[in-house]
Amino acid sequence: MLLYQVVIGKEVYMAKDLIFELGSEEVPAGFIKPALAALAASLQKGFKEGGLEYGQMRTLGTPRRLTVIVEGLEEKEPDRRVESRGPSIKAAYDKDGNPTRALEGFARGSGVKVEDLRVVKGDKGEYLYAVKEVKGRKTAELLPTLLRGVIGALSFPKSMRWADYDMTFARPLHWILAVYGGKTVSFNHGHIESGNATFGHRFIARGAGKALKIKTVDDYLNKLKDNLVIADIGERRMVILDGIAREAEAAGGVVLEDKGLVEEVVNLVEYPVVIRGSFEEEYLELPAQIIINAMREHQRYFSVQSKEDAEAKDGYGLLPAFITVANTRVKDEAVVRAGNERVLRARLSDAKFYFDKDIATPLAGKVEALKDVVFQVKLGSSYEKVERFTRLALYIGRWIEWCDALDDTSCLSDFLKDTKTNPGIKAGRSHQLGRASMLAKADLVSGVVGEFPSLQGVMGAEYARRGGEDEEVAAAIGEHYLPSSAGGELPESSAGAIISIADKLDTIAGCFGVGLIPTGAADPYALRRAALGIIRIVLDKDWSLPLDGLVTKTVALVGDKLTKDAGETEAAVLEFIKERFRNYLKGEGLQHDSIDAVLSTEWFDIADGVKRIRALEKFKQHPACESLVVSFKRVSNILKGQDANGLLTPDIFEDDAEHALFDLYSKIAPLIREAEEAGDYELVFEKLASVKDVIDKFFDEVMVMAEDEKLRRNRLILLGSIRDLYLPVADLSKLVV
């Protein structure tokens, strides 16, 4: 597609289209979107470095091809003038005025004659400059190197080698299509030579395997579509969404919304064909999540729910139907449908067998089996982990005054006893919390979770409800894995939130305590996600929790499992969570200097930390803030390395400015402490603003570092007192003004 033309001198340069496609074996669905983004970014970078303009860039992709189309790409780099600085005048010529070797070498390297160099006078003296007019190269000459580099820079979560070729890709690479302005861009990547051909659908294209010669963008899109490939991801998505909605309507229901599955299926097919199937109604007696999971995780089927699902007993109202998306047109849809139904029937039959077996044993009866489940070799069994985080959960519950004071050294097995049949066991929130925590991992030894691991927690809650547990206990069991992703759903119940924090903190502290610390490339125990989960839960519940105390308690509970020093472990865990908190706050749009000002203090309360930072952000708009921060920076600089501890002696003040600052300090210090204790940080900063004029006058009129030692020390103590007004809340000297 010709967009425009450029006239340079007597030559006419036309903008042309680039079609760049990498054809391979089927690439995993999750790799496609990031790979296309990386390809586009690499090309954009290359074009920018060469000064090449283009009209529009778009990406297309299927499991077998990654494509970037660049419309209106200029045919030639712009001509440019390159200036480079050489030696100074002094170093350029000897005492006789002859060029030195340094000058001759510079001229030679710059491709100009010595006499063509020019002198430029700057702040640092006079230097010789080489000015060279560089004629822009043609795009067709640049593309081979650029495209080869783009392929080489492409990376995947997992790459593979094949045959004896010295190259890697997500899956074996078979062809490279590179066409610019209708002509092939010729280059080699390993053993593969680029060309002007692509290929249609592997199985159902006309003459499958036959090369399709390409010259233009329309040519590319039309020939692929004629050969049953829909290269545009958005177009495939619409075909799938329309198809599954139509089939669900035909089944008398609607599709259970699942955006993640839609995105996955879109990148599993080149030519989507939507097919509906059914299964026996008897399987609807299973919990809906089992049916959904059996269809989604194993078969990539969409579930169908009744239109009145909101009134259904489980909130799903599933119908005995499913929808699948095939990658080929079929002669007899009934045969494909029957095959899919047969596979699903086997899955559901297995699930029913395991479910019936699981509910035959109460959830409390499964806890003992956790002793045979290894959580982590160095950290022991899942049963040991459950004991640790149950004690921690009770500690948290008491701290936030959600449950009564219960000795967390008590026998944890009492929580597995039913209060109805054991009158000696005290009912109440403490028992609910302890019981939910002790039962939280029991479903790991169930048959259903063994078959469908993603249902851990979900099945625990289901078994708890079917076993007659209190709803608070069942809900907490189901919620304690939340959030399961960076922006995922949070626990609603307090018990679920407490256990989630305890479980996650135990994992972090335990892993750090045995040296399993995340690296930039690996985090196998998802510790970053766990830390972020703790932060989000605490903020959601607005709980005031002493993070340092929690970490100390958790590390102590890990006890003799530690292979590292307890103090070292505590410090590392606190720093790890603090860095995750810092990143979270930046993601929330808070300014880095406000974050640093608070997190650089003796800070250990997540919810309180956010309150301080938001109050500080608001204080930045105060007219006194800028000059006050400058003064506080001066206070910090003067006190750096000085001993400012001790009692003030107002009797030896020599200057009115000293008395004024001390009097103001005496007046506002109790007010600031009172506001700080109440968490009213806006008032803290408002009171601090009243120091501005007085401290400015102090610095104008008083020599802090006086020669007299008593005067000097007294003034340092006074400034230390001023610093102590703000330092417990935020180090205001960290602010950028």
Report pLDDT digits (tens) over 454-504.
999 999 999 999 999 999 999 999 999 999 988 889 999 999 999 999 999
Q: Which fold has domain 620-734?
A: Isoleucyl-tRNA Synthetase; Domain 1 (1.10.730)
**3-class secondary-structure state, position 100:** coil
Q: Which residues pair with 324 in a beta bridge?
A: 275
Closest-CA residue to 607 (of 548, 540, 672): 540
Is residue 295 within 8 Å of 349, Cβ to Cβ? no
Is residue 231 within 8 Å of 356, Cβ to Cβ? no
Which range is least confidently modeled, 30-34, 70-74, 83-87?
83-87
Calculate the average pLDDT of the chain.
Answer: 90
Residue appearing with tokens 């903020």: 539
Instruction: State yes or no: pLDDT of 316 exceeds 80.
Output: no
Q: Letter for the amino acid at 466? A: R
Q: How confident is the model at residue 675 (pLDDT cuts 50, 70, 90)?
A: very high
Cα–Cα–Cα angle for 185, 190, 191, nearest 5°? 90
Stretch (H or E) spanning 535: helix 527-541
Which range is least confidently modeled, 226-230, 235-239, 685-689, 698-702?
698-702
What whole-number distance in Å separates Cα of residue 403 and Cα of residue 395? 10
268 token code pair: 């599993």
Check residue 648 and give its pLDDT: 83
Q: Which residues pair with 14 in a beta bridge?
A: 5
Q: What is the DSSP string of 147-171?
A: HHHHHHH---SS-B--TT-S--BSS
Residues whose CB falls within 8 Å of the CB of residue 717, separated by 6 or more in sequence, listed in order: 644, 645, 646, 647, 648
202 or 5, greater pLDDT: 202
Check residue 134 and give its pLDDT: 72
Q: Which residues pair with 84 in a beta bridge?
A: 130
Closest-CA residue to 71 (of 58, 81, 86): 58
Closest-CA residue to 180 (of 205, 154, 204, 147): 147
How far is Cα of residue 249 from the mean position of the Cα atoms in its chain?
37
Is residue 481 within 8 Å of 474, Cβ to Cβ? no
Instruction: State yes or no: pLDDT of 177 exceeds 70.
Output: yes
Q: Which residues pair with 173 in a beta bridge?
A: 24
Beta pairing class for 211-213 and 197-199: antiparallel
Check residue 86 and give its pLDDT: 85
Taking CA atoms, 503 is separated from 419, 470, 471, in Å, by 25, 21, 20
Is residue 194 within 8 Å of 178, Cβ to Cβ? yes
**3-class secondary-structure state, position 308:** coil
Q: Considering Cα of 423, then 428, then 432, then 434, what sign does the dihedral take?
A: negative
Which range is least confidently modeled, 110-124, 138-152, 203-217, 542-556?
110-124
Which range is least confidently modeled, 109-113, 367-371, 561-565?
109-113
Check residue 454 and give its pLDDT: 92
What whole-number distance in Å separates Cα of residue 130 and Cα of residue 550? 65
| The length of the chain, given as a count of residues | 737
Is residue 231 within 8 Å of 214, Cβ to Cβ? no
Is residue 397 within 8 Å of 498, Cβ to Cβ? yes
Instruction: State yes or no: pLDDT of 9 exceeds 70.
Output: no
**3-class secondary-structure state, position 11:** strand
Which range is least confidently modeled, 201-215, 489-503, 613-627?
201-215
Residues whose CB falls within 8 Å of the CB of residue 432, separated by 6 or more in sequence, listed in order: 403, 470, 472, 473, 476, 495
Q: How confident is the model at residue 5 (pLDDT cuts 50, 70, 90)?
A: very low
Is residue 325 within 8 Å of 336, Cβ to Cβ? no
Is residue 657 within 8 Å of 698, Cβ to Cβ? yes
Q: For 7-16, what is the mean pLDDT?
A: 56
Is residue 174 within 8 Å of 192, Cβ to Cβ? yes
Check residue 631 and give its pLDDT: 87
Is residue 628 within 8 Å of 646, Cβ to Cβ? no
Determine the longest span between alpha carbons in the chain, in angstroms.
Answer: 110
How far is Cα of residue 177 from the mean position of the Cα atoms in its chain?
34
Output the 3-class SS for 418-476.
Answer: CCCCCCCCCCCHHHHHHHHHHHCCHHHHCHHHHHCHHHCCHHHHHHHHHCCCCHHHHHH
Check residue 312 and give its pLDDT: 52
pLDDT tens digit sequence for 332-391: 899 999 999 999 999 999 999 999 999 999 999 999 999 999 999 999 999 999 999 999
Sequence-ordered strand ranges (E) for 56-184: 56-62, 65-73, 80-88, 118-122, 125-134, 173-180, 183-184
Residue 624: Cβ-neighbour burial (10 angstroms; 0-12, 13-18, 19+) = middle
Residues whose CB falls within 8 Å of the CB of residue 676, separated by 6 or more in sequence, listed in order: 684, 728, 729
**3-class secondary-structure state, position 542:** coil
What whole-number distance in Å separates Cα of residue 613 and Cα of residue 600? 12
Q: How confident is the model at residue 90 (pLDDT cuts 50, 70, 90)?
A: confident
pLDDT tens digit sequence for 251-304: 999 999 999 999 999 999 999 999 999 999 999 999 999 999 999 988 999 999
What whole-number distance in Å separates Cα of residue 470 and Cα of residue 429? 11
What whole-number distance in Å separates Cα of residue 649 and Cα of residue 652? 6
Check residue 419 and give its pLDDT: 67
CATH annotation of 5-76+138-226: 3.30.70.260
Is the bond preceding residue 483 a cis peptide, omega within 30 degrees?
Answer: yes
Closest-CA residue to 260 (of 270, 251, 268, 272): 268
pLDDT tens digit sequence for 147-174: 999 999 999 999 999 998 988 999 999 9
pLDDT tens digit sequence for 566-611: 999 999 999 999 999 999 999 999 999 999 999 988 889 999 999 9
Instruction: State yes or no: pLDDT of 3 exceeds 60.
Output: no
Q: How confident is the model at residue 424 (pLDDT cuts 50, 70, 90)?
A: low
Instruction: State yes or no: pLDDT of 37 exceeds 50.
Output: yes
pLDDT tens digit sequence for 116-148: 788 888 777 888 888 877 787 899 999 999 999
Q: How confident is the model at residue 7 (pLDDT cuts 50, 70, 90)?
A: very low
Q: For 433-455, what is the mean pLDDT?
A: 95
